[in-house]
């Protein structure tokens, strides 16, 4: 691991420690575990879904249910594993009853999402489903029209290629769409071979990028097995 990658991973762990005890929105009162995200902390590809479900809320890991199993299969189809990518959601906590995220929840979690993007430095972000795609692209066009079509967006301080894809749960509900999903993943794999888009120039290159977002003291260090969610090397 390079010095730069090691430093970014350490900062990502600090953001994780803060997020793991976040109480900035009402979801802190109903969650079981914060679902920060998991995978390669130096990944070229990052997936962003909507919000944790019941399985994710119990385990504290993203996409561990049936949709996650399908995502694993789709990755295998293009020669990748979960360990090669980073998987996250727009929200850190499960909304009660799996309802849609509320504006206060999205605004509270947005800095955490942008911090992950800035520290992982992905070349491509694949948005999974309507909600994540509309939020990330700031466009209300439905996933049926934009899936499989790369876009370029600046999120926080990182410019990335955004690649909208149907949510795996939609394919579970309608297996006839699996060939379309396979084709989108093949196009996604090709997109990873392209160079990253130009990055915006920092306004103050000498200013340190502090990972703590809320101004609160860092939380106690999580268990080592929790820190293993950030793989890579």
Chain segment 155-172, per-residue pLDDT in tens = 999 999 999 999 999 999
Instruction: Quickly state the pLDDT bin for 200 (edges 50, 70, 90).
Output: confident
What is the separation of C-alpha 80 from the centre of its chain, rounded to a whole number of angstroms?
A: 17
Q: In the predicted model, what is the mean pLDDT of residues 115-141?
A: 96
Residue 20 lies in a domain: yes
Taking alpha carbons only, the member of 111, 110, 149, 112 closest to residue 132 is: 110
**203, part of any domain:** no
Residue ranges making up the domain that contains 30: 3-196
Nearest residue to 119 via CA among 42, 220, 203, 231: 42
Q: Work out the average pLDDT over 159-187.
A: 97
Is residue 224 in some structural domain? Answer: no
pLDDT surpasses 80 at 43: yes
Residue 32 located in a structural domain: yes
| Angle, vertex CA 123, rays to CA 122 and CA 128, nearest 5 | 75
State yes or no: pLDDT of 1 exceeds 90: no
What CATH number did the domain enclosing 76 receive? 3.40.470.10
What is the pLDDT at residue 211?
Answer: 44
Q: Report the greatest alpha carbon distance in the chain.
A: 53
- Among residues 29, 46, 47, which one has the least CA distance to residue 94? 29
Query: Would you say residue 77 lies in a domain?
Result: yes
Examine residue 216 and state whether it is found in any structural domain, yes or no: no
Find all residues with CB under 8 Å of 39, minimum gap 6, and list them. 46, 82, 83, 84, 85, 86, 87, 229, 230, 231, 232
Tell me how many degrees the CA angle 68-73-77 measures, rounded to the nearest 5.
145
Question: Which helix or strand (DSSP H or E) is residue 169 part of?
Answer: helix 168-173
- Residue 207 belongs to some domain of the structure: no
pTM: 0.89
pLDDT of the residue at 3: 80
In a domain? residue 104 = yes
Pairs from 198-202 (Cβ < 8 Å, separation ≥ 24): 198/159, 199/158, 199/159, 200/154, 200/157, 200/159, 202/157
**Number of domain units in the chain:** 1
pLDDT at 182 over 60: yes
Q: Mean pLDDT over all residues of the chain?
A: 89
The pLDDT, as a whole number, for residue 225 is 44
Count how many Cα atoms sit within 13 Å of the Cα of residue 78 in the half-sphere of its side chain.
Answer: 21
């Amino acid at each position: 691991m390079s010095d730069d990658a090691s430093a970014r991973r350490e900062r990502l762990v600090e953001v994780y420690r803060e997020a793991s005890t976040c109480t900035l929105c009402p979801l802190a009162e109903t969650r079981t575990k914060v679902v920060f995200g998991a995978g390669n902390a130096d990944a070229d590809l990052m997936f962003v879904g909507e919000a944790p479900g019941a399985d994710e809320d119990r385990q504290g890991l993203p996409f561990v249910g049936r949709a996650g199993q399908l995502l694993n299969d789709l990755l295998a189809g293009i020669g990748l594993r979960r360990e090669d990518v980073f998987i996250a959601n727009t929200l850190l906590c499960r909304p009660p009853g799996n309802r849609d995220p509320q504006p206060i929840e999205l605004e509270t979690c947005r800095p955490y999402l942008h911090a992950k993007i800035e520290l992982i430095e992905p070349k491509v972000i694949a948005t999974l489903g309507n909600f994540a795609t509309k939020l990330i692209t700031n466009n209300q066009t439905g996933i049926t029209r934009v899936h499989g079509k790369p876009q370029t967006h600046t999120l926080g301080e990182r410019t990335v290629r955004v690649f909208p894809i149907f949510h795996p749960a939609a394919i579970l509900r309608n297996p006839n769409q699996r060939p379309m999903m396979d084709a989108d993943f093949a196009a996604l794999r090709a997109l990873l071979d392209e160079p990253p888009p130009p990055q915006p120039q920092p306004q103050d290159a000498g200013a340190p990028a502090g990972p703590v977002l809320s101004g609160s003291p860092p939380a106690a260090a999580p268990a080592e097995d929790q820190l293993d969610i950030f793989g890579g090397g």
